[in-house]
C-alpha cells in the first residue's frame, strides 16, 4: 500500500560540535525508542519535482546545524546511562507513495484504514543503538494530490514542546525564513539545567509515579495465552460538550477547593477514566485497583522557569492515587476529575527537584526502565495513561503547502493509552485512545451517552 522509493541521509549544512554529551535526568527515564506524529496536508502543489524535495532536504540540513543533537546518535554506559554522540551522522528523509484513497478530513478513516503506521517512519531496532537515527521524516504522496509528513523522534532526546519547536523551525526555513529574522531563535541545548546535583535539592517526597502500576487481578484476566487484540478509535469533542463535563464535575464540588474551575484536560481525562473502568468492569471486580498516569510539562513549574527555547525533555510523569473501579464508576464525575487535578497539582518546584534527585540516585537505569515500562498486565490493563498534546503549535508546521488539516499520533498500541489533541479548527478536541478491540464499541457509546445524561444518572 505504501512504497518507500528513496532514502536521503541529511547532515548539518555547517560543521557542528563534535563531542559526547550526557543527557539530563529527565531524559534518562525515557526509552531510547521513537515517538511519531503524522501531519496531513491537502490540496498541496506537486512535490515530485527535484526542486521541492531539494528544498525539504536543504532546509532540514540547515535545521540540523542549530539542532545538531538531531543529527547525532545515542550510546549507553554499562549501567544504562544514555549519552548523546554529537557526530553529525545525520537524519533520514524518506520519499514514499501510497495508492490508497483516504478521506483526509476524517481522522477516524485514517486510523481505521490500518494505513496510519505505514505513513510514519519504521525504525529498525535490531541494529546497534549507535546506528539508529534519532530523527526520521517520511514524505508520502497520494493519487489525489494530498500528502502526509510522518516524523519519528527519539523519546530520550526531546519532548513534545522541544520536538514541535524543531519541526516548526524546519518548516519556517523551508518557507525561506532565516535565523537572522525575529521569528526564529536558536535552541538552548544545555542539559545541565536539569541536573539534580546542580539544583542541589535532596529528595523529600515519595515518588509513586516511578512505582509499578496496579495489575489486572488474575481472577479477571482472560484465560488465554494470546494477548487481547487492541484497536484505536478517534473521538471528537466540541467545546460545548467539554463545557457540559465541566458543569457536571463542578455540581458536586471541587475536592481541592474552589480555587479555579476545572480545566478541559482534567474533565476529559476524568471522563475517559470513568468510561474505561465501566467497559472493563466484569462481574465482581469492583475492587480492582486502577490509577491514571499523565505527563506534566514542568518548564514553568521550576523556579526559575526553564527558558522557552530549552531543547530536551522537561515532562515528568505523575499519577493519581490508586482507586478502585467502584470508586471511579459510582462516585460523581468530580471524584475522578479531582484525582487528576491532585496528580497534576503536586508537580511543584520542590517535587520536580525531588524527582530529579530520585532519578540521579538510581543504580541501574536499565533495570529502572525495564520495570517502569513493563506492561506485565499482558492480558488486560486496569489503568489509563493520558498524554496531553494540547496548546502545542502543531498547526504552524507549514512547509509551503499550507497548514496541516490534521495531526495524529503515529502509533498508539498500548491498552489504555490516550492522546488529547486540539482540533485543527480550534472548536474542540480530538481523543485518540487504544483499548481492547472488544471494548471499543461500548466505550464509544458510553463516552457520548454519559455526557448527555443528567448528573443524577451519571
Give the C-alpha distances (Å, rounded to integers) separating 229 from 155, 330, 334, 415: 26, 28, 32, 9
State pLDDT tens for residues 77-125: 999 999 999 999 999 999 999 988 777 666 666 776 678 889 999 999 9
Query: Whole-angstrom Cα distance, residue 323 to residue 291?
Result: 6
Pairing of strands 289-290, 417-422: unpaired
Look up the pTM and report it. Answer: 0.93
- To which residue does cell 443524577 refer? 456
Every domain of the chain and the residues it spans? 2-197, 211-457
Q: With contact defined as beta carbons under 8 Å apart, do 34 and 411 qualify?
A: no
Q: Which CATH architecture has domain 2-197?
A: 2-Layer Sandwich (3.30)
pLDDT at 218: 65
Q: Is 100 helix (H, G, I), strand (E, B) or coil?
A: coil
Parallel/antiparallel/unpaired status of strands 73-76 and 82-86: antiparallel
- Strands (E) in 245-393, as ranges, are 289-290, 292-297, 315-319, 323-324, 384-389
Grid coordinates representing 230 are 487492541
pLDDT, tens only, 201-210: 667 899 999 9
CA-based diameter of the chain, in Å? 65
Which 8-state DSSP code applies to residue 17?
A: -
Q: Do domains 2-197 and 211-457 have the same CATH topology?
A: yes
User: Among 3.40.190.170, 3.30.559.10, 1.10.10.10, 3.40.190.10, what is the CATH number of 211-457?
Assistant: 3.30.559.10
Q: Which residues of the chain have pLDDT under 50?
A: 223, 255-256, 457
DSSP state of 391: S
Q: What is the pLDDT of residue 256?
A: 47
Cα distances (Å, whole numbers) of residue 351 to 209, 301, 303: 12, 9, 12
Task: Provide CB contacts within 8 A for 259, sequence distance 6+.
Answer: none
Residues 150, 37: contact at Cβ < 8 Å?
A: yes
CB 118 within 8 A of CB 142: no
- Cell numbers linked to 147: 500528502
User: Under 8 Å CB-to-CB from 342, ≥6 apart: which residues?
Assistant: 255, 256, 320, 321
The CA dihedral of 356, 357, 360, 361, to the nearest 10 degrees, is: -150
Residue 202: how many other CB atoms lie within 10 Å? 9
pLDDT for res 223: 47
Amino acid at each position: 500500500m505504501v512504497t518507500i522509493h528513496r532514502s536521503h541521509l541529511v547532515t548539518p549544512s555547517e560543521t557542528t560540535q563534535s563531542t559526547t554529551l550526557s543527557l539530563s535526568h529527565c531524559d534518562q527515564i525515557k526509552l531510547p525508542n521513537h515517538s511519531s506524529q503524522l501531519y496531513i496536508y491537502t490540496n498541496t502543489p506537486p512535490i515530485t519535482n527535484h526542486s521541492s524535495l531539494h528544498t525539504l532536504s536543504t532546509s532540514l540540513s540547515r535545521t540540523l546545524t542549530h539542532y545538531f543533537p538531531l543529527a547525532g546518535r545515542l550510546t549507553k554506559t554499562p549501567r544504562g546511562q544514555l549519552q548523546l554522540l554529537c557526530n553529525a551522522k545525520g537524519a533520514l528523509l524518506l520519499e514514499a507513495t501510497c495508492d490508497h484513497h483516504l478521506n483526509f478530513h476524517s481522522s477516524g478513516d485514517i486510523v481505521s484504514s490500518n494505513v496510519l503506521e505505514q505513513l510514519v517512519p519504521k525504525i529498525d531496532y535490531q541494529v546497534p543503538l549507535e546506528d539508529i537515527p534519532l530523527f526520521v521524516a517520511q514524505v508520502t504522496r497520494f493519487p489525489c494530490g494530498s500528502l502526509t509528513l510522518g516524523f519519528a523522534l527519539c523519546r530520550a532526546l526531546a519532548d513534545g514542546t522541544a520536538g514541535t519547536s524543531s519541526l516548526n523551525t524546519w518548516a519556517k526555513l523551508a518557507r525561506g525564513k532565516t535565523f537572522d529574522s525575529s521569528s526564529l531563535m536558536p535552541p538552548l541545548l544545555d542539559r545541565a539545567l536539569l541536573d539534580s546535583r546542580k539544583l542541589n535539592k535532596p529528595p523529600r517526597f515519595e515518588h509513586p509515579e516511578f512505582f509499578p502500576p496496579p495489575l489486572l487481578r488474575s481472577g479477571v484476566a482472560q484465560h488465554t495465552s494470546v494477548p487481547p487484540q487492541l484497536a484505536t478509535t478517534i473521538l471528537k469533542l466540541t467545546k460545548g460538550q467539554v463545557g457540559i463535563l465541566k458543569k457536571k464535575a463542578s455540581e458536586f464540588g471541587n475536592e481541592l477547593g474552589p480555587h479555579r474551575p476545572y480545566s478541559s484536560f482534567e474533565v476529559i481525562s476524568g471522563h475517559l477514566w470513568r468510561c474505561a473502568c465501566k467497559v472493563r468492569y466484569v462481574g465482581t471486580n469492583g475492587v480492582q485497583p486502577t490509577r491514571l498516569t499523565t505527563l506534566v510539562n514542568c518548564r514553568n513549574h521550576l523556579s526559575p522557569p526553564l527558558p522557552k527555547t530549552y531543547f530536551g525533555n522537561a515532562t515528568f510523569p505523575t499519577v493519581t492515587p490508586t482507586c478502585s473501579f467502584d470508586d471511579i464508576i459510582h462516585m460523581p464525575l468530580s471524584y475522578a476529575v479531582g484525582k487528576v487535578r491532585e496528580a497534576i497539582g503536586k508537580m511543584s518546584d520542590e517535587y520536580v527537584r525531588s524527582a530529579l534527585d530520585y532519578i540521579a540516585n538510581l543504580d541501574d537505569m536499565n533495570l529502572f526502565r525495564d520495570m517502569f515500562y513493563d506492561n506485565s498486565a499482558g492480558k488486560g490493563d486496569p489503568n489509563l495513561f493520558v498524554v496531553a498534546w494540547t496548546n502545542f503549535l502543531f498547526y504552524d508546521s507549514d512547509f509551503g503547502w499550507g497548514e496541516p488539516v490534521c495531526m495524529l499520533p503515529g502509533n498508539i498500541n498500548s491498552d489504555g493509552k490516550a492522546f488529547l489533541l486540539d482540533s485543527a479548527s480550534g472548536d474542540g478536541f480530538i481523543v485518540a485512545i487504544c483499548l481492547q478491540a472488544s471494548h471499543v464499541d461500548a466505550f464509544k457509546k458510553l463516552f457520548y451517552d454519559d455526557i448527555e445524561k443528567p448528573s443524577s444518572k451519571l
